[in-house]
Amino acid sequence: MTFATKITVCRILLVPVFSVLAIRYGMSTHSGAPEAIYRWWALAVFITAAVSDGVDGWIARKFDQRSDLGAYLDPLADKALVTSAILVLTFYDWGASGWRLPIWFTIIVLLRDAIILAGIRYLTARKLTVKIIPHWTGKICTVSLFVVLGWMMLGPIPLSPIYPCTFAGLFIVLSMWSYIRQGWNILHPPASSGGR
């Protein structure tokens, strides 16, 4: 196992640590006596895990430590971290009553991931080569997701989370559509233009 992959494994192990701290803070907020220490520790663990995503990628490229295991675990670690944060911030208030993610936002995030995974499974089951090309909407989707999570975890501010959620939601839907189109083109390749 390469050093880059070990960092990825550590990121996966940080997910339950973050979840426990985040839920503990949410429960303390619900009880009317918020324990800020849990919030700051959860935020610190989340930031550490998020930063490690860039670090392991840089190490893998810089020191030629790319591996099949790392390529498999890296997106799994990312999804586990983001999904756990989204679920906690949907079901637990992280501030004044109602300071949580709207349920519609969580549904479209989970729906996007489910459709992409189901599509990849379907294509591989049909023995097709699945080569997904990252699209700019996917990159904006990822950045906007982290903006939403930061917005939520840094605490109640005078502007409702509905605004960053709406912006991120738009790019979640657009990126989902772009991946559906890629899957459709793999399933039904365009006819070659070399005919008569």
pLDDT at 111: 95
Residue 195 within any structural domain of the chain = no
Residue 166 within any structural domain of the chain = yes
Of 94, 128, 148, the last residue of a domain is: 94
Are 69 and 114 in a shared domain?
Answer: no
Are 18 and 72 in a shared domain?
Answer: yes
pLDDT at 2 exceeding the cut of 70? yes
List Cβ neighbours of 19 (8 Å cut-off, separation of 6 or more): 84, 88
pLDDT at 196: 42
Q: Is the distance from CB of 110 to CB of 83 less than 8 angstroms?
A: yes
Residue 65 within any structural domain of the chain = yes
Residue 120's domain comprises: 101-189
Which token pair is 71? 């390529």
**Predicted TM-score (pTM) of this structure:** 0.83
Other C-beta atoms lying within 10 Å of the C-beta of residue 169: 22
Q: Which helix (DSSP H) or strand (DSSP E) does residue 30 occupy?
A: helix 3-30
Q: What confidence tier does 177 reach under pLDDT thresholds 50, 70, 90? A: very high
Residue type, 30: H
Are 68 and 149 in a shared domain?
Answer: no
Residue 194 within any structural domain of the chain = no
Q: What confidence tier does 70 reach under pLDDT thresholds 50, 70, 90? A: confident
Residue 27 within any structural domain of the chain = yes
The total of structural domains in the chain comes to 2
Which token pair is 40? 């700051």
Q: What is the DSSP letter of 134?
A: P
Of 63, 94, 125, the last residue of a domain is: 94
H helices of 63-102, where?
Answer: 68-91
Q: Which of 83, 110, 97, 105 is nearest to 26 (CA)?
A: 97
Residue 173 within any structural domain of the chain = yes
Residue type, 28: S
Other C-beta atoms lying within 10 Å of the C-beta of residue 18: 23
Of residues 44 and 99, which shows the higher confidence score?
Answer: 44
Are 2 and 83 in a shared domain?
Answer: yes
pLDDT at 89 exceeding the cut of 60? yes
Rounded mean pLDDT, 27-34: 88
Report phi then psi at 141, rounded to 5.
-60, -50
Are 53 and 124 in a shared domain?
Answer: no
Of residues 75 and 195, which shows the higher confidence score?
Answer: 75
List Cβ neighbours of 112 (8 Å cut-off, separation of 6 or more): 172, 173, 175, 176
pLDDT at 193 exceeding the cut of 70? no
Are 33 and 85 in a shared domain?
Answer: yes
Q: Is the distance from CB of 130 to CB of 123 less than 8 angstroms?
A: yes
pLDDT at 192: 57
Are 71 and 13 in a shared domain?
Answer: yes
Q: Which of 79, 97, 77 is nearest to 31 (CA)?
A: 97
Are 112 and 87 in a shared domain?
Answer: no
Whole-angstrom distance, CA of residue 29 vs CA of residue 36: 9
Of 30, 59, 94, the last residue of a domain is: 94
CATH number of the domain enclosing 53: 1.20.120.1760
Are 139 and 180 in a shared domain?
Answer: yes
Residue 68 within any structural domain of the chain = yes
Share of the chain above pLDDT 90, in %: 44
pLDDT at 195 exceeding the cut of 50? no
